[in-house]
């Protein structure tokens, strides 16, 4: 089967260089799309279902990390190679997660090694469905771990070894009827994005706020509040167990609530047995 490739880089010249080098190093592959922003990258991935996606980390609209989070949820996620200008501190995260990356400007030797690794991974035991499924889960686990690490680096202050930039939020103020309810963050069970609002679920009930989930999450203690789905952040102290569902899916059982919270593939590694 012909390998299909997607290239997404907001610098058109660098995208053309990468395209040219890939055509030279991997002539049997077919480049199905070259785009220059994250939204277009996700749309192209949905249309073409590429086997490999080369994603620039920093792109307008959606970053490469945002796109990768969406790709993980595909039935057959592509292999992801990040194109990055990150510093050495962040590159260590790529190495630990065993996720491929290409530094800007693209160097042929590094790209050649990346292409060979991709060929090896694509040439895995496709005749064994169980082994192939396990390999796919391992790929998404590695990518999920990398995305979590990179996100923590983005929220850290340079030179502080990962210390937070500011104190964490202690209270959430939500308008309920004619009153502003003060919700202690310690009492929040989980947060769920719903259209233009975030539903704050606490021991006292539910309340809607207009702050985006992404903005709110950046103000919370990441050791306590874990993102488990694109639209869900849970207070891990309120989780009783992780439940295996069909097709390798996970859900979280809460201590004092009846509903189960689904866990996206990219966050499943957070609940693996120690």
DSSP states of 48-104: H--SEEEEESS-SSS-HHHHHHHHTTSSSPPEEEEEE---HHHHHHHHHHT--EEES
136 with 26, same domain? yes
Q: Which of 154, 183, 204 is the last residue of a domain?
A: 154
Look at residue 169 in the predicted model and tell me its pLDDT.
87
Look at residue 163 in the predicted model and tell me its pLDDT.
44
- Domain annotation covers residue 159: no
Look at residue 229 in the predicted model and tell me its pLDDT.
92
21 with 121, same domain? yes
Q: In what order do the strands lie in the sheet with 260-263?
A: 239-244, 250-254, 260-263
- Domain annotation covers residue 13: yes
- Domain annotation covers residue 164: no
188 with 137, same domain? no
- Domain annotation covers residue 11: yes
- Domain annotation covers residue 180: yes
pLDDT along the chain (274 residues), means of 10: 94 92 96 95 96 90 86 88 71 62 85 92 65 61 72 56 61 86 94 91 92 86 90 95 84 94 87 68
Range of the domain at 55: 4-154
pTM: 0.60
68 with 197, same domain? no
Q: Which of 97, 120, 154 is the last residue of a domain?
A: 154
The C-alpha atoms of residue 94 and residue 89 are separated, in whole angstroms, by 10
Look at residue 219 in the predicted model and tell me its pLDDT.
86
The C-alpha atoms of residue 113 and residue 100 are separated, in whole angstroms, by 10
Q: How far is CA 181 from the centre of its chain?
A: 33
Report the candidate in 231, 42, 269, 34 with the shortest Cα–Cα distance to residue 149.
269
Q: Is the dihedral of CA 6, 110, 104, 83 positive or negative?
A: positive
- Domain annotation covers residue 245: yes
Q: Which CATH number belongs to the domain containing residue 250 in this structure? A: 2.40.50.1020
DSSP states of the chain: ---EEEEE-S-HHHHHHHHHHHHHH-TTSEEEEEESSHHHHHHHHHHH--SEEEEESS-SSS-HHHHHHHHTTSSSPPEEEEEE---HHHHHHHHHHT--EEESSP-HHHHHHHHHHHHHHHTS-TT-HHHHHHHHHHHHHHHHHHHHHHHHHHTBPTTTTS-BSSPPP-EEEEEETTEEEEEEGGGEEEEEEETTEEEEEETTEEEEESS-HHHHHTTS-TTTEEEEETTEEEEGGGEEEEEE-GGG-EEEEESS-SPEEEE-GGGGGGGS--
- Domain annotation covers residue 162: no
Task: Indicate the angle between helix axes 64-71 and 129-154, nearest 10 degrees.
Answer: 150
Look at residue 87 in the predicted model and tell me its pLDDT.
59
- pLDDT per position as a tens digit, 124-164: 765 555 555 555 666 777 777 777 766 666 655 444 444 44
Q: Which residue has the tokens 């609209």?
A: 61
How many structural domains comprise the chain?
2
The C-alpha atoms of residue 124 and residue 267 are separated, in whole angstroms, by 24
139 with 28, same domain? yes
The C-alpha atoms of residue 251 and residue 154 are separated, in whole angstroms, by 28
Q: Which CATH number belongs to the domain containing residue 51 in this structure? A: 3.40.50.2300
50 with 134, same domain? yes
């Amino acid at each position: 089967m012909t390998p299909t490739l997607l290239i997404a880089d907001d610098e058109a010249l660098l995208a053309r260089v990468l395209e040219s080098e890939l055509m030279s190093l991997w002539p049997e592959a077919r480049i199905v799309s070259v785009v220059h922003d994250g939204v277009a990258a996700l749309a192209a991935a949905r249309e073409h279902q590429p086997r490999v996606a080369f994603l620039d980390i920093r792109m307008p609209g959606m970053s490469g990390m945002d796109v990768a989070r969406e790709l993980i949820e595909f039935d057959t996620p592509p292999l992801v190679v990040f194109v990055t200008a990150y510093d050495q501190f962040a590159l260590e995260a790529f190495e630990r997660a065993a996720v491929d990356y290409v530094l800007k400007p693209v160097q042929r030797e590094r790209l050649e090694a990346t292409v060979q690794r991709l060929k090896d991974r694509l040439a895995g035991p496709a005749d064994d469905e169980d082994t192939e499924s396990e390999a796919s889960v391992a790929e998404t686990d590695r990518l999920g771990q990398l995305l979590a690490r990179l996100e923590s680096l983005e929220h850290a202050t340079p030179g502080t070894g990962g210390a937070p930039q500011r104190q964490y939020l202690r209270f959430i103020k939500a308008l309920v009827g004619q009153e502003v309810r003060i919700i202690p963050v310690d009492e929040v069970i989980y947060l769920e994005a719903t259209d233009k609002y975030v539903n704050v679920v606490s021991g006292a009930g539910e309340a809607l706020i207009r702050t985006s989930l992404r903005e709110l999450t950046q103000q919370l203690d990441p050791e306590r509040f874990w993102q488990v789905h694109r639209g869900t952040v849970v207070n891990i102290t309120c989780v009783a167990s992780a439940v295996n569902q069909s097709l390798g899916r996970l859900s979280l059982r809460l201590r004092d609530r009846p509903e189960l919270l689904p866990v996206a593939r990219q966050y499943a590694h957070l609940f693996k047995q120690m």
